[in-house]
Amino acid sequence: MMGLALLPLLLLLSLASTIQGQSIFDVTTYGAKPNTDITQALANAWTEACASTTPSTLLIPKGVYQLSQSNLKGPCKSVPIQVQVEGTLQAPIHTKGDGLVLFSYIDQLILSGSGVFDGQGKSGWEKNNCHKKKICTKLPMNLKFSFVTNSTVKDITSLDSKNFHINLLGCKNVTFQHVTINAPDESPNTDGIHISSSEEIYILDSKIATGDDCVSVGDSNKQVTITNVTCGPGHGISIGSLGKYTKEKDVVGVTVKACKIFNTTNGVRIKTWPDSAVAFMASDMHFEDIEMENVSNPIIIDQEYCPWNQCNRKVPSKIKISNVSFKNIRGTSATPVAVKLVCSKSIPCEGVEVADINLTYSGNRGPIVSECANVMPTITGVQNPQICAKPATIGAPSTD
């Protein structure tokens, strides 16, 4: 009888249990305790979960845990492999490493849970000057996904990252859904989700508040969909910046739809550097059904993007922008220039369509206007302001 009574306890104490055909790897069974550093416990749990021959779940239960950089690397025998975070993972106060949690070379990853990745970024933001200087010390991100495929990230929260909250490199078919990203407006270089060299990326039903772009689509991307995202504060939803580095390649197929953007410095934006290091195309980019509230630059193409004078403005951008549409964009602008389309003098934009724009400005700096250069868009539907009614001022300061 005593042996039978001990069976449930023995099962709970085992390193892995099997529930409905899935192996569960709870970090607390590997020595993790709240309010302590669980880096080694997490590494041990990941090693066994990844090696499992059945679908597995690595569980971080509720509680506050300290964590140094954790490299969760595949490929894994466990397919799929789930990381369920219910607790709060706190990065060190002092800056070091590439990120808090780095996922790499994993197929069919599911990262989920109500947990929080806390970068404790306030301690590092004053040192984060990479947006101002070419030579700088890059601070760690909260989450980095490298060469992750056929995967889902849902319900988690990224808080106060020292650098980008979430970074994707070389990923394919990855969906982010019901993700929350939160940092104050004054946090520099803290892009919510930055995408580069990736394909078939979906960002859905998420809320992003940060000090830089809510979503930034960098170079060498194909088929990125951003739908029902609430953005603000921050710098808006951006494609680019493009053309700064020599190994960059085409950006093709970006759709931003049914989003709300408020209290940001930009709304929807395409930005390329003058004096580009390489020539390539940015095409098939569409922004539709966007609501703006108190946005300083609601609609902008900026092929003279040169913040902090880090380039030669006199040499036109070599990035070819084509097949772009802005449709059904409405709300309020915080400045009188609500629509600004400034394309390259040497390679003007082609196939730009602007339809049903209804933006208002209630400030005292003049009437609401639209300015353009080196572009002849197709214009239909509502025009408020009248699209391309004024020539743009060339060489004006760039927004971040």
Q: In Å, how far from its chain's centre is CA 368?
A: 31
C-alpha distance from residue 230 to each of 176, 208, 210, 299 (Å): 14, 6, 11, 16
Given a contact cutoff of 8 angstroms between Cβ atoms, the answer to whether 54 and 23 are in contact is yes
Q: Which one-letter amino acid corresponds to residue 310?
A: Q
How far is it, in rounded angstroms, from Cα 163 to Cα 329?
30
How is the chain split among helix, strand and coil, in percent rounded to 5? Answer: 10, 45, 45
How far is it, in rounded angstroms, from Cα 230 to Cα 206?
6
How far is it, in rounded angstroms, from Cα 210 to Cα 233?
6
How far is it, in rounded angstroms, from Cα 377 to Cα 381?
13
Q: Taking the C-alpha atoms of 313, 315, 321 and 325 in order, what is their torsion angle to the nearest 10 degrees? A: 30
Q: Which residue has the tokens 């005593």?
A: 2
- One-letter-per-residue 3-state SS of 302-356: ECCCCHHHCCCCCCCCCCEEEEEEEEEEEEEECCCEEEEEECCCCCCCEEEEEEE
Catalytic residue among 131, 165, 178, 235: 235
Q: Quick one: CA dihedral 119, 124, 130, 131, positive or negative?
A: positive
Q: Is 235 a catalytic residue?
A: yes
Annotated catalytic sites, by residue? 235
